[in-house]
Structure 1
Amino acid sequence: MNTDQSPPGERKMTSIFERFLSLWVVLCIIVGILLGKAAPGIARYLDSLAISVNGAPVVSIPIAICLFFMMYPIMVKIDFGEVIKAGKSGKPVFLTLFINWAIKPFTMYAIATFFLGTLFYNFIGPDAVDLVKMPFGLDLPVGASHGAGTVVLVDGIKMLEVPLWRSYLAGCILLGVAPCTAMVLVWGFLSKGNDGLTLVMVAINSLTMLVLYGVLGGVLLGVGRLPVPWQALLLSIGIYVALPLVAGYFSRKWIIATNGEAWFKEKFLHVLTPVTIIALLITLVLLFSFKGEVIVSNPLTILWIAIPLFIQTILIFSLGYGLARLLKLRYEDAAPAAMIGASNHFEVAIATSTMLFGLSSGAALATVVGVLIEVPLMLMLVKICLDTQGWFSNAR
Protein backbone atom coordinates (compact mmCIF):
# COMPACT_ATOMS: atom_id res chain seq x y z
CA MET A 1 0.00 0.00 0.00
CA ASN A 2 1.53 3.26 -1.08
CA THR A 3 0.74 6.24 1.11
CA ASP A 4 3.58 8.45 -0.06
CA GLN A 5 5.28 8.38 3.29
CA SER A 6 7.99 6.43 5.04
CA PRO A 7 7.37 2.75 5.59
CA PRO A 8 5.33 2.10 8.70
CA GLY A 9 8.30 1.06 10.75
CA GLU A 10 10.17 4.23 9.79
CA ARG A 11 7.46 6.77 10.56
CA LYS A 12 9.36 8.75 13.14
CA MET A 13 7.83 10.53 16.10
CA THR A 14 9.99 13.63 15.91
CA SER A 15 8.02 16.60 17.23
CA ILE A 16 7.93 17.51 20.91
CA PHE A 17 4.20 16.73 20.91
CA GLU A 18 4.79 13.19 19.64
CA ARG A 19 7.83 12.33 21.76
CA PHE A 20 6.14 13.42 25.00
CA LEU A 21 2.56 12.60 24.02
CA SER A 22 1.63 10.87 27.30
CA LEU A 23 2.67 13.94 29.30
CA TRP A 24 0.74 16.27 27.00
CA VAL A 25 -2.37 14.10 27.27
CA VAL A 26 -2.33 14.24 31.08
CA LEU A 27 -1.77 18.00 31.05
CA CYS A 28 -4.59 18.56 28.56
CA ILE A 29 -7.03 16.49 30.62
CA ILE A 30 -6.15 18.49 33.75
CA VAL A 31 -6.41 21.80 31.89
CA GLY A 32 -9.75 20.76 30.41
CA ILE A 33 -11.26 19.81 33.77
CA LEU A 34 -9.95 22.99 35.43
CA LEU A 35 -11.27 25.11 32.58
CA GLY A 36 -14.70 23.49 32.84
CA LYS A 37 -14.75 24.10 36.58
CA ALA A 38 -13.25 27.60 36.57
CA ALA A 39 -15.13 28.93 33.56
CA PRO A 40 -18.26 26.79 33.19
CA GLY A 41 -19.99 29.50 31.17
CA ILE A 42 -17.36 29.38 28.44
CA ALA A 43 -17.38 25.58 28.42
CA ARG A 44 -21.18 25.47 28.19
CA TYR A 45 -21.18 28.00 25.37
CA LEU A 46 -18.63 26.06 23.34
CA ASP A 47 -20.51 22.83 24.06
CA SER A 48 -23.73 24.43 22.83
CA LEU A 49 -22.21 25.15 19.41
CA ALA A 50 -23.56 22.01 17.82
CA ILE A 51 -25.57 20.78 14.86
CA SER A 52 -28.63 18.99 16.24
CA VAL A 53 -30.96 16.39 14.77
CA ASN A 54 -34.39 15.97 16.37
CA GLY A 55 -33.22 17.90 19.41
CA ALA A 56 -30.14 15.76 19.93
CA PRO A 57 -26.69 17.38 19.55
CA VAL A 58 -24.95 15.31 16.89
CA VAL A 59 -21.98 17.34 15.67
CA SER A 60 -20.09 19.62 18.03
CA ILE A 61 -18.75 22.43 15.86
CA PRO A 62 -15.56 23.01 17.92
CA ILE A 63 -14.85 19.26 17.98
CA ALA A 64 -15.63 18.99 14.27
CA ILE A 65 -13.05 21.68 13.50
CA CYS A 66 -10.44 19.86 15.58
CA LEU A 67 -11.30 16.53 13.97
CA PHE A 68 -10.90 18.05 10.52
CA PHE A 69 -7.36 19.12 11.36
CA MET A 70 -6.71 15.68 12.84
CA MET A 71 -7.99 13.88 9.75
CA TYR A 72 -6.76 16.12 6.94
CA PRO A 73 -3.01 15.44 7.38
CA ILE A 74 -3.77 11.71 7.29
CA MET A 75 -6.06 11.92 4.26
CA VAL A 76 -3.73 14.10 2.21
CA LYS A 77 -0.90 11.57 2.58
CA ILE A 78 -2.91 8.69 1.15
CA ASP A 79 -2.45 7.70 -2.48
CA PHE A 80 -6.14 7.26 -3.25
CA GLY A 81 -5.35 5.43 -6.45
CA GLU A 82 -4.19 2.53 -4.27
CA VAL A 83 -7.14 2.47 -1.88
CA ILE A 84 -9.11 0.02 -4.03
CA LYS A 85 -6.18 -2.38 -3.96
CA ALA A 86 -6.15 -2.18 -0.17
CA GLY A 87 -9.79 -3.26 -0.17
CA LYS A 88 -8.72 -6.61 -1.59
CA SER A 89 -6.98 -7.42 1.70
CA GLY A 90 -9.73 -9.75 2.82
CA LYS A 91 -8.38 -10.95 6.16
CA PRO A 92 -8.20 -7.62 8.03
CA VAL A 93 -11.56 -6.50 6.66
CA PHE A 94 -13.21 -9.77 7.68
CA LEU A 95 -11.54 -9.61 11.09
CA THR A 96 -12.84 -6.14 11.88
CA LEU A 97 -16.37 -7.03 10.73
CA PHE A 98 -16.34 -10.19 12.84
CA ILE A 99 -15.10 -8.40 15.97
CA ASN A 100 -17.37 -5.38 15.55
CA TRP A 101 -20.64 -7.19 14.93
CA ALA A 102 -20.35 -10.79 16.14
CA ILE A 103 -18.38 -10.20 19.34
CA LYS A 104 -18.23 -6.61 20.58
CA PRO A 105 -21.95 -5.84 21.17
CA PHE A 106 -22.44 -9.00 23.21
CA THR A 107 -19.31 -8.68 25.34
CA MET A 108 -20.30 -5.09 26.09
CA TYR A 109 -23.72 -6.25 27.24
CA ALA A 110 -22.26 -9.01 29.41
CA ILE A 111 -19.49 -6.92 30.98
CA ALA A 112 -21.69 -3.89 31.67
CA THR A 113 -24.46 -6.06 33.13
CA PHE A 114 -22.03 -7.80 35.47
CA PHE A 115 -20.37 -4.64 36.74
CA LEU A 116 -23.33 -2.24 36.83
CA GLY A 117 -26.04 -4.76 37.73
CA THR A 118 -24.06 -6.91 40.16
CA LEU A 119 -20.64 -5.73 41.31
CA PHE A 120 -21.46 -2.00 41.55
CA TYR A 121 -25.17 -2.43 42.19
CA ASN A 122 -25.03 -1.36 45.84
CA PHE A 123 -22.67 1.52 45.08
CA ILE A 124 -25.01 2.91 42.43
CA GLY A 125 -27.94 2.38 44.78
CA PRO A 126 -30.57 -0.39 44.81
CA ASP A 127 -33.30 2.26 45.02
CA ALA A 128 -31.72 4.74 42.62
CA VAL A 129 -33.97 5.42 39.65
CA ASP A 130 -33.79 7.37 36.42
CA LEU A 131 -36.52 9.10 34.45
CA VAL A 132 -36.33 8.43 30.72
CA LYS A 133 -38.51 9.12 27.72
CA MET A 134 -41.36 6.77 26.95
CA PRO A 135 -40.47 4.41 24.07
CA PHE A 136 -41.56 5.58 20.63
CA GLY A 137 -45.23 4.88 19.96
CA LEU A 138 -45.92 3.54 23.46
CA ASP A 139 -48.91 4.98 25.35
CA LEU A 140 -49.50 3.30 28.70
CA PRO A 141 -51.46 4.54 31.72
CA VAL A 142 -49.64 5.95 34.74
CA GLY A 143 -48.59 3.14 37.04
CA ALA A 144 -48.32 0.57 34.26
CA SER A 145 -45.16 -1.52 33.99
CA HIS A 146 -43.01 -1.70 30.90
CA GLY A 147 -39.96 -3.92 31.04
CA ALA A 148 -38.03 -2.97 34.17
CA GLY A 149 -39.73 0.43 34.38
CA THR A 150 -42.93 2.02 35.60
CA VAL A 151 -44.89 4.78 33.89
CA VAL A 152 -44.99 7.96 36.00
CA LEU A 153 -46.26 11.48 35.43
CA VAL A 154 -43.66 14.26 35.69
CA ASP A 155 -44.82 17.85 35.12
CA GLY A 156 -47.72 16.55 33.10
CA ILE A 157 -45.52 14.37 30.88
CA LYS A 158 -45.48 10.59 31.00
CA MET A 159 -42.01 9.23 31.73
CA LEU A 160 -40.63 5.80 32.39
CA GLU A 161 -39.03 5.31 35.80
CA VAL A 162 -36.28 2.69 35.53
CA PRO A 163 -33.48 1.47 37.82
CA LEU A 164 -30.54 3.81 37.39
CA TRP A 165 -28.07 1.03 36.69
CA ARG A 166 -30.19 -0.13 33.76
CA SER A 167 -30.07 3.34 32.31
CA TYR A 168 -26.27 3.29 32.52
CA LEU A 169 -26.35 -0.17 30.92
CA ALA A 170 -28.36 1.18 27.99
CA GLY A 171 -25.71 3.83 27.32
CA CYS A 172 -22.96 1.21 27.40
CA ILE A 173 -24.90 -0.94 24.94
CA LEU A 174 -25.25 1.96 22.53
CA LEU A 175 -21.48 2.44 22.64
CA GLY A 176 -20.95 -1.28 22.09
CA VAL A 177 -22.98 -1.38 18.88
CA ALA A 178 -21.32 1.71 17.39
CA PRO A 179 -17.80 0.94 16.09
CA CYS A 180 -15.61 3.93 15.36
CA THR A 181 -15.70 5.33 11.83
CA ALA A 182 -13.59 8.47 12.20
CA MET A 183 -11.06 8.68 15.02
CA VAL A 184 -9.73 5.22 14.15
CA LEU A 185 -7.95 6.91 11.25
CA VAL A 186 -5.97 8.87 13.83
CA TRP A 187 -5.25 5.80 15.97
CA GLY A 188 -4.16 3.84 12.90
CA PHE A 189 -1.87 6.65 11.81
CA LEU A 190 -0.27 7.06 15.23
CA SER A 191 0.32 3.31 15.48
CA LYS A 192 2.09 3.39 12.08
CA GLY A 193 -0.67 1.40 10.43
CA ASN A 194 -1.79 1.13 6.82
CA ASP A 195 -3.76 4.35 6.31
CA GLY A 196 -5.29 3.20 3.04
CA LEU A 197 -6.59 -0.03 4.52
CA THR A 198 -7.91 1.84 7.55
CA LEU A 199 -9.88 4.09 5.21
CA VAL A 200 -11.35 1.05 3.46
CA MET A 201 -12.37 -0.51 6.79
CA VAL A 202 -13.94 2.78 7.89
CA ALA A 203 -16.03 2.87 4.71
CA ILE A 204 -17.17 -0.75 5.09
CA ASN A 205 -18.04 -0.32 8.77
CA SER A 206 -19.97 2.86 8.03
CA LEU A 207 -22.13 0.99 5.53
CA THR A 208 -22.54 -1.97 7.88
CA MET A 209 -23.70 0.34 10.66
CA LEU A 210 -26.61 1.44 8.51
CA VAL A 211 -27.88 -2.15 8.51
CA LEU A 212 -26.87 -3.68 11.84
CA TYR A 213 -26.81 -0.77 14.28
CA GLY A 214 -30.56 -0.61 14.72
CA VAL A 215 -31.07 -4.37 14.75
CA LEU A 216 -28.43 -5.27 17.33
CA GLY A 217 -29.09 -2.21 19.45
CA GLY A 218 -32.79 -2.97 19.55
CA VAL A 219 -32.26 -6.60 20.50
CA LEU A 220 -29.79 -5.85 23.29
CA LEU A 221 -31.84 -2.98 24.68
CA GLY A 222 -34.94 -5.14 24.59
CA VAL A 223 -36.94 -2.61 22.64
CA GLY A 224 -37.34 -4.61 19.46
CA ARG A 225 -35.92 -2.69 16.55
CA LEU A 226 -34.01 0.33 17.79
CA PRO A 227 -34.80 3.49 15.80
CA VAL A 228 -31.71 4.27 13.77
CA PRO A 229 -30.69 7.94 13.80
CA TRP A 230 -30.06 7.97 10.04
CA GLN A 231 -29.58 11.72 9.87
CA ALA A 232 -27.20 11.71 12.82
CA LEU A 233 -25.23 8.79 11.42
CA LEU A 234 -24.88 10.21 7.92
CA LEU A 235 -24.19 13.73 9.16
CA SER A 236 -21.42 12.66 11.52
CA ILE A 237 -19.78 10.43 8.89
CA GLY A 238 -20.07 13.20 6.31
CA ILE A 239 -18.48 15.85 8.50
CA TYR A 240 -15.92 13.75 10.35
CA VAL A 241 -14.79 11.49 7.47
CA ALA A 242 -16.05 12.60 4.06
CA LEU A 243 -15.13 16.29 4.39
CA PRO A 244 -11.43 15.77 5.23
CA LEU A 245 -11.35 12.90 2.72
CA VAL A 246 -12.50 15.12 -0.14
CA ALA A 247 -10.28 18.00 0.99
CA GLY A 248 -7.27 15.69 1.20
CA TYR A 249 -7.89 14.13 -2.21
CA PHE A 250 -8.30 17.37 -4.16
CA SER A 251 -5.65 19.39 -2.31
CA ARG A 252 -3.14 16.57 -2.83
CA LYS A 253 -3.77 16.57 -6.57
CA TRP A 254 -3.57 20.36 -6.75
CA ILE A 255 -0.39 20.67 -4.67
CA ILE A 256 1.45 17.96 -6.62
CA ALA A 257 0.33 19.45 -9.93
CA THR A 258 1.43 22.92 -8.85
CA ASN A 259 4.64 22.30 -6.91
CA GLY A 260 5.65 18.76 -7.79
CA GLU A 261 5.70 15.52 -5.83
CA ALA A 262 9.13 16.13 -4.31
CA TRP A 263 8.03 19.45 -2.77
CA PHE A 264 4.81 17.80 -1.54
CA LYS A 265 6.71 15.05 0.27
CA GLU A 266 9.70 16.98 1.55
CA LYS A 267 8.17 20.36 2.39
CA PHE A 268 4.39 20.24 2.69
CA LEU A 269 4.10 16.96 4.60
CA HIS A 270 6.94 17.96 6.92
CA VAL A 271 5.09 21.11 7.97
CA LEU A 272 1.82 19.20 8.28
CA THR A 273 3.15 16.39 10.50
CA PRO A 274 2.52 17.96 13.97
CA VAL A 275 -0.98 19.21 13.06
CA THR A 276 -2.75 15.92 13.85
CA ILE A 277 -1.23 15.70 17.33
CA ILE A 278 -1.89 19.36 18.16
CA ALA A 279 -5.52 19.05 17.05
CA LEU A 280 -5.86 15.88 19.13
CA LEU A 281 -4.59 17.64 22.25
CA ILE A 282 -6.93 20.60 21.72
CA THR A 283 -9.79 18.11 21.34
CA LEU A 284 -8.88 16.61 24.71
CA VAL A 285 -9.00 20.03 26.37
CA LEU A 286 -12.40 20.74 24.81
CA LEU A 287 -13.92 17.35 25.70
CA PHE A 288 -12.89 17.53 29.34
CA SER A 289 -13.81 21.20 29.69
CA PHE A 290 -17.30 20.48 28.34
CA LYS A 291 -17.82 17.85 31.03
CA GLY A 292 -15.64 19.34 33.78
CA GLU A 293 -18.60 20.05 36.05
CA VAL A 294 -20.01 16.56 35.53
CA ILE A 295 -16.67 14.94 36.38
CA VAL A 296 -16.15 16.99 39.53
CA SER A 297 -19.77 16.58 40.67
CA ASN A 298 -20.06 12.84 39.97
CA PRO A 299 -16.58 11.32 40.20
CA LEU A 300 -17.75 7.95 41.55
CA THR A 301 -20.55 7.68 39.01
CA ILE A 302 -18.04 8.34 36.25
CA LEU A 303 -15.81 5.64 37.74
CA TRP A 304 -18.56 2.99 37.95
CA ILE A 305 -19.38 3.49 34.28
CA ALA A 306 -15.78 3.87 33.12
CA ILE A 307 -14.57 0.55 34.55
CA PRO A 308 -16.71 -1.77 32.37
CA LEU A 309 -16.05 0.44 29.34
CA PHE A 310 -12.31 0.23 30.02
CA ILE A 311 -12.38 -3.56 30.39
CA GLN A 312 -14.48 -3.93 27.25
CA THR A 313 -12.04 -1.84 25.22
CA ILE A 314 -9.01 -3.78 26.43
CA LEU A 315 -10.75 -7.11 25.79
CA ILE A 316 -11.84 -6.26 22.26
CA PHE A 317 -8.45 -4.81 21.36
CA SER A 318 -6.64 -7.86 22.76
CA LEU A 319 -8.95 -10.22 20.89
CA GLY A 320 -8.57 -8.36 17.60
CA TYR A 321 -4.81 -7.96 17.95
CA GLY A 322 -4.34 -11.58 18.97
CA LEU A 323 -6.45 -12.89 16.10
CA ALA A 324 -4.55 -10.66 13.70
CA ARG A 325 -1.35 -12.34 14.80
CA LEU A 326 -2.88 -15.80 14.42
CA LEU A 327 -4.04 -14.84 10.93
CA LYS A 328 -0.45 -13.76 10.19
CA LEU A 329 -1.44 -10.24 9.20
CA ARG A 330 1.21 -7.64 8.62
CA TYR A 331 1.67 -5.31 11.57
CA GLU A 332 0.51 -2.27 9.60
CA ASP A 333 -2.76 -4.12 8.86
CA ALA A 334 -3.14 -5.68 12.31
CA ALA A 335 -2.91 -2.43 14.28
CA PRO A 336 -5.85 -0.59 12.64
CA ALA A 337 -7.88 -3.81 12.44
CA ALA A 338 -7.66 -4.11 16.24
CA MET A 339 -8.17 -0.37 16.81
CA ILE A 340 -11.40 -0.06 14.86
CA GLY A 341 -13.13 -2.60 17.10
CA ALA A 342 -11.75 -1.17 20.33
CA SER A 343 -12.92 2.40 19.71
CA ASN A 344 -16.51 3.65 19.50
CA HIS A 345 -18.57 6.00 17.36
CA PHE A 346 -19.54 8.07 20.38
CA GLU A 347 -21.27 10.82 18.39
CA VAL A 348 -23.92 8.39 17.16
CA ALA A 349 -24.20 6.75 20.59
CA ILE A 350 -24.79 10.12 22.27
CA ALA A 351 -27.34 11.14 19.65
CA THR A 352 -29.23 7.86 19.98
CA SER A 353 -29.26 7.90 23.78
CA THR A 354 -30.57 11.47 23.75
CA MET A 355 -33.28 10.64 21.23
CA LEU A 356 -34.38 7.48 23.02
CA PHE A 357 -33.95 8.30 26.70
CA GLY A 358 -33.45 12.06 27.03
CA LEU A 359 -30.51 14.42 27.40
CA SER A 360 -30.44 14.17 31.21
CA SER A 361 -30.78 10.38 31.33
CA GLY A 362 -28.25 7.99 32.79
CA ALA A 363 -27.89 6.45 29.33
CA ALA A 364 -26.77 9.77 27.88
CA LEU A 365 -24.31 10.19 30.76
CA ALA A 366 -22.84 6.74 30.08
CA THR A 367 -22.18 7.64 26.45
CA VAL A 368 -20.48 10.84 27.60
CA VAL A 369 -18.21 8.79 29.87
CA GLY A 370 -17.33 6.79 26.77
CA VAL A 371 -16.15 10.02 25.16
CA LEU A 372 -14.05 10.99 28.17
CA ILE A 373 -12.09 7.75 28.38
CA GLU A 374 -11.85 7.13 24.63
CA VAL A 375 -8.88 9.32 23.73
CA PRO A 376 -6.56 8.53 26.69
CA LEU A 377 -7.38 4.82 26.46
CA MET A 378 -6.85 4.59 22.71
CA LEU A 379 -3.55 6.43 23.02
CA MET A 380 -2.50 3.78 25.52
CA LEU A 381 -3.38 1.08 22.98
CA VAL A 382 -1.41 2.94 20.32
CA LYS A 383 1.62 2.74 22.62
CA ILE A 384 1.03 -0.99 23.12
CA CYS A 385 0.92 -1.50 19.35
CA LEU A 386 4.13 0.42 18.81
CA ASP A 387 5.88 -1.57 21.54
CA THR A 388 4.77 -4.93 20.13
CA GLN A 389 5.55 -4.52 16.43
CA GLY A 390 8.12 -7.28 16.85
CA TRP A 391 5.31 -9.79 17.42
CA PHE A 392 4.70 -9.70 13.69
CA SER A 393 7.25 -11.37 11.44
CA ASN A 394 7.17 -8.59 8.87
CA ALA A 395 7.85 -5.77 11.36
CA ARG A 396 10.43 -3.40 9.95
Structure 2
Amino acid sequence: MWKILSWLQKYMIWSIPLSMLAGLLFGMMANPSFLRWTILPLTFLMVYPMMVTMDVNELLKPGGGKLQRVTLGINFLLMPAIGYATGLLFFAHQPMVRLALLLTSLLPTSGMTISWTGFAKGNVPAAVKMTVVSLIAGSLLAPLYLKILLGTVVEIPLQQVFLQIALIVFLPLLLGALTRRWLVASFGEQ
Protein backbone atom coordinates (compact mmCIF):
# COMPACT_ATOMS: atom_id res chain seq x y z
CA MET A 1 0.00 0.00 0.00
CA TRP A 2 2.77 2.45 0.96
CA LYS A 3 4.66 1.61 -2.24
CA ILE A 4 1.60 2.51 -4.29
CA LEU A 5 1.11 5.79 -2.41
CA SER A 6 4.82 6.61 -2.78
CA TRP A 7 4.64 5.96 -6.51
CA LEU A 8 1.50 8.12 -6.82
CA GLN A 9 3.24 10.95 -4.98
CA LYS A 10 6.55 10.65 -6.84
CA TYR A 11 4.91 10.47 -10.27
CA MET A 12 1.91 12.73 -9.64
CA ILE A 13 2.23 14.29 -13.08
CA TRP A 14 1.43 10.83 -14.52
CA SER A 15 -0.74 9.31 -11.82
CA ILE A 16 -3.46 11.97 -11.98
CA PRO A 17 -4.12 11.76 -15.76
CA LEU A 18 -3.77 7.95 -15.69
CA SER A 19 -6.30 7.72 -12.86
CA MET A 20 -8.69 9.99 -14.74
CA LEU A 21 -8.29 7.93 -17.91
CA ALA A 22 -8.81 4.67 -16.01
CA GLY A 23 -11.98 6.06 -14.41
CA LEU A 24 -13.28 7.29 -17.76
CA LEU A 25 -12.63 3.94 -19.44
CA PHE A 26 -14.20 2.02 -16.56
CA GLY A 27 -17.27 4.27 -16.73
CA MET A 28 -17.59 3.60 -20.46
CA MET A 29 -17.31 -0.19 -20.08
CA ALA A 30 -19.32 -0.75 -16.90
CA ASN A 31 -21.94 0.94 -14.77
CA PRO A 32 -19.92 2.58 -11.98
CA SER A 33 -22.93 3.53 -9.84
CA PHE A 34 -22.17 0.72 -7.38
CA LEU A 35 -19.01 2.65 -6.42
CA ARG A 36 -20.90 5.81 -5.43
CA TRP A 37 -21.01 4.88 -1.74
CA THR A 38 -17.17 4.73 -1.66
CA ILE A 39 -16.66 8.38 -2.59
CA LEU A 40 -17.17 9.88 0.87
CA PRO A 41 -15.18 7.34 2.93
CA LEU A 42 -12.29 7.25 0.45
CA THR A 43 -12.17 11.04 0.27
CA PHE A 44 -12.17 11.16 4.07
CA LEU A 45 -9.30 8.65 4.14
CA MET A 46 -7.30 10.81 1.73
CA VAL A 47 -7.91 14.05 3.63
CA TYR A 48 -7.49 12.77 7.21
CA PRO A 49 -3.71 12.05 7.02
CA MET A 50 -3.10 15.57 5.73
CA MET A 51 -5.01 16.96 8.70
CA VAL A 52 -2.99 14.87 11.18
CA THR A 53 0.25 16.41 9.92
CA MET A 54 -1.13 19.96 9.93
CA ASP A 55 -1.00 22.31 12.89
CA VAL A 56 -4.59 23.62 13.23
CA ASN A 57 -3.24 26.94 14.54
CA GLU A 58 -1.97 27.60 11.01
CA LEU A 59 -5.58 27.98 9.87
CA LEU A 60 -6.15 30.80 12.32
CA LYS A 61 -3.14 32.85 11.24
CA PRO A 62 -3.88 35.89 9.09
CA GLY A 63 -2.45 36.10 5.62
CA GLY A 64 -2.86 34.31 2.37
CA GLY A 65 -5.33 36.90 1.09
CA LYS A 66 -3.56 37.25 -2.26
CA LEU A 67 -3.55 33.47 -2.75
CA GLN A 68 -7.27 33.31 -1.90
CA ARG A 69 -8.08 36.12 -4.35
CA VAL A 70 -6.09 34.50 -7.16
CA THR A 71 -7.78 31.16 -6.47
CA LEU A 72 -11.23 32.74 -6.47
CA GLY A 73 -10.41 34.55 -9.72
CA ILE A 74 -9.31 31.33 -11.40
CA ASN A 75 -12.23 29.30 -9.99
CA PHE A 76 -15.01 31.80 -10.66
CA LEU A 77 -13.86 33.97 -13.56
CA LEU A 78 -11.34 32.08 -15.70
CA MET A 79 -12.67 28.51 -15.45
CA PRO A 80 -16.36 29.41 -16.01
CA ALA A 81 -15.33 31.57 -18.98
CA ILE A 82 -13.40 28.64 -20.47
CA GLY A 83 -16.28 26.23 -19.79
CA TYR A 84 -18.84 28.61 -21.27
CA ALA A 85 -16.70 29.38 -24.35
CA THR A 86 -16.01 25.68 -24.92
CA GLY A 87 -19.74 24.98 -24.73
CA LEU A 88 -20.59 27.72 -27.22
CA LEU A 89 -17.78 26.75 -29.58
CA PHE A 90 -18.28 22.99 -29.71
CA PHE A 91 -21.81 22.37 -28.41
CA ALA A 92 -23.83 25.39 -29.52
CA HIS A 93 -26.94 23.28 -30.23
CA GLN A 94 -26.68 21.01 -27.19
CA PRO A 95 -27.84 23.05 -24.18
CA MET A 96 -27.54 20.16 -21.70
CA VAL A 97 -23.88 19.61 -22.61
CA ARG A 98 -23.26 23.36 -22.27
CA LEU A 99 -24.97 23.28 -18.87
CA ALA A 100 -22.79 20.35 -17.78
CA LEU A 101 -19.61 22.09 -18.95
CA LEU A 102 -20.52 25.29 -17.14
CA LEU A 103 -21.39 23.46 -13.93
CA THR A 104 -18.20 21.40 -14.11
CA SER A 105 -16.09 24.50 -14.61
CA LEU A 106 -17.91 26.49 -11.94
CA LEU A 107 -18.08 24.09 -9.02
CA PRO A 108 -14.65 23.47 -7.51
CA THR A 109 -13.47 20.18 -6.09
CA SER A 110 -13.30 19.66 -2.37
CA GLY A 111 -11.34 17.06 -0.47
CA MET A 112 -9.08 16.14 -3.36
CA THR A 113 -7.64 19.66 -3.37
CA ILE A 114 -6.46 19.13 0.19
CA SER A 115 -5.16 15.62 -0.48
CA TRP A 116 -3.19 16.47 -3.60
CA THR A 117 -1.77 19.57 -1.92
CA GLY A 118 -0.52 17.36 0.90
CA PHE A 119 0.89 14.76 -1.50
CA ALA A 120 2.73 17.54 -3.34
CA LYS A 121 4.08 18.84 0.00
CA GLY A 122 2.22 22.09 -0.52
CA ASN A 123 0.53 24.50 1.88
CA VAL A 124 -2.26 22.35 3.37
CA PRO A 125 -3.71 25.11 5.63
CA ALA A 126 -4.10 27.36 2.57
CA ALA A 127 -5.74 24.48 0.67
CA VAL A 128 -8.21 23.95 3.54
CA LYS A 129 -9.13 27.65 3.51
CA MET A 130 -9.46 27.63 -0.29
CA THR A 131 -11.66 24.55 -0.24
CA VAL A 132 -14.12 25.97 2.28
CA VAL A 133 -14.30 29.41 0.64
CA SER A 134 -14.59 27.96 -2.88
CA LEU A 135 -17.33 25.47 -2.00
CA ILE A 136 -19.43 28.18 -0.36
CA ALA A 137 -18.77 30.71 -3.14
CA GLY A 138 -19.50 28.12 -5.84
CA SER A 139 -22.81 27.22 -4.23
CA LEU A 140 -23.85 30.85 -4.07
CA LEU A 141 -22.55 31.87 -7.51
CA ALA A 142 -23.66 28.84 -9.57
CA PRO A 143 -27.36 29.80 -9.74
CA LEU A 144 -26.41 33.37 -10.72
CA TYR A 145 -24.00 32.24 -13.47
CA LEU A 146 -26.49 29.71 -14.84
CA LYS A 147 -29.29 32.29 -14.96
CA ILE A 148 -27.12 34.96 -16.61
CA LEU A 149 -25.23 32.74 -19.08
CA LEU A 150 -27.77 30.03 -19.94
CA GLY A 151 -31.09 31.45 -18.79
CA THR A 152 -31.51 28.37 -16.59
CA VAL A 153 -32.50 28.33 -12.95
CA VAL A 154 -30.86 25.57 -10.95
CA GLU A 155 -31.33 25.28 -7.23
CA ILE A 156 -28.18 24.38 -5.31
CA PRO A 157 -29.04 22.55 -2.06
CA LEU A 158 -26.97 24.62 0.38
CA GLN A 159 -27.72 22.21 3.21
CA GLN A 160 -26.01 19.42 1.24
CA VAL A 161 -23.07 21.68 0.45
CA PHE A 162 -22.54 22.53 4.12
CA LEU A 163 -22.88 18.84 5.03
CA GLN A 164 -20.23 18.01 2.42
CA ILE A 165 -17.92 20.69 3.84
CA ALA A 166 -18.47 19.31 7.33
CA LEU A 167 -17.78 15.70 6.32
CA ILE A 168 -14.88 16.29 3.95
CA VAL A 169 -13.14 19.21 5.66
CA PHE A 170 -14.21 19.79 9.26
CA LEU A 171 -14.60 16.18 10.49
CA PRO A 172 -11.14 15.14 9.23
CA LEU A 173 -9.79 18.44 10.60
CA LEU A 174 -11.22 17.76 14.07
CA LEU A 175 -10.16 14.11 14.13
CA GLY A 176 -6.75 15.01 12.70
CA ALA A 177 -6.20 17.66 15.38
CA LEU A 178 -7.18 15.21 18.12
CA THR A 179 -4.93 12.52 16.64
CA ARG A 180 -2.05 15.00 16.34
CA ARG A 181 -2.51 16.11 19.95
CA TRP A 182 -2.48 12.48 21.12
CA LEU A 183 0.60 11.64 19.01
CA VAL A 184 2.53 14.68 20.27
CA ALA A 185 1.58 13.92 23.89
CA SER A 186 2.54 10.26 23.48
CA PHE A 187 5.64 10.46 21.30
CA GLY A 188 6.75 14.11 21.18
CA GLU A 189 6.81 16.61 18.33
CA GLN A 190 9.09 14.45 16.15
In the TM superposition, what is the alpha-carbon distance from 1:78 to its structure 2 partner?
0.8
**Over the residues paired in the alignment, what is the CA RMSD in angstroms?**
3.0
Query: Quick one: structure 1 residues 77 and 242, their matched pair in 2 at CA, closer, same or farther if it must change by over 3 Å?
Result: same
Superposition TM-score, scaled by structure 1 size: 0.42
Secondary structure of the corresponding residue to residue 231 of structure 1: helix
More relative contact order, 1 or 2 (CA 8 Å, 6+ apart): 1
Alignment match, 1:254: 182
| Residues in 1 aligned to 2:52 and 2:63: alpha-carbon distance in whole angstroms | 22
Aligned with residue 10 of structure 2, among 16, 19, 25: 19
| Residues in 2 aligned to 1:247 and 1:257: alpha-carbon distance in whole angstroms | 15
Alignment match, 1:244: 172
Alignment match, 2:111: 182
Percent identity reads 25
How big is each residue's C-alpha offset from its partner over 1:131-180, in whole Å with a ceiling of 9 and x where there is no partner? xxxxxxxxxxxxxxxxxxxxxxxxxxxxxxxx5x2111111111122122
Letter in 2 for 1:91: K
Secondary structure of the corresponding residue to residue 111 of structure 2: coil
**Structure 2: gaps of 5 or more residues:** none
Structure with the larger strand share = 1
Determine if contact 1:68/1:244 at 8 Å carries over to the other structure.
yes
Alignment match, 1:55: none
Residue 64 of structure 2 is aligned to residue 89 of structure 1 = yes
In the TM superposition, what is the alpha-carbon distance from 1:109 to its structure 2 partner?
0.7
| Residues in 1 aligned to 2:19 and 2:132: alpha-carbon distance in whole angstroms | 34
1:44-59 mapped onto 2 (5 Å cutoff): 44=33, 46-47=34-35
| Residues in 1 aligned to 2:59 and 2:8: alpha-carbon distance in whole angstroms | 29
How big is each residue's C-alpha offset from its partner over 1:291-314, in whole Å with a ceiling of 9 and x where there is no partner? xxxxxxxxxxxxxxxxxxxxxxxx
Alignment match, 2:46: 70
Letter in 1 for 2:179: S
**Structure 1: gaps of 5 or more residues:** 1-13, 48-59, 118-162, 263-396
In the TM superposition, what is the alpha-carbon distance from 1:243 to its structure 2 partner?
2.1
In the TM superposition, what is the alpha-carbon distance from 1:253 to its structure 2 partner?
1.2
Structure 1 or 2, whichever has the larger Rg, is 1
Aligned with residue 213 of structure 1, among 126, 130, 142: 142
1:281-320 mapped onto 2 (5 Å cutoff): none
How big is each residue's C-alpha offset from its partner over 1:160-216, in whole Å with a ceiling of 9 and x where there is no partner? xxx5x2111111111122122321112322333211111112222233234322222
Superposition TM-score, scaled by structure 2 size: 0.81
Structure with the larger helix share = 2
| Residues in 1 aligned to 2:28 and 2:83: alpha-carbon distance in whole angstroms | 30
Letter in 1 for 2:72: L
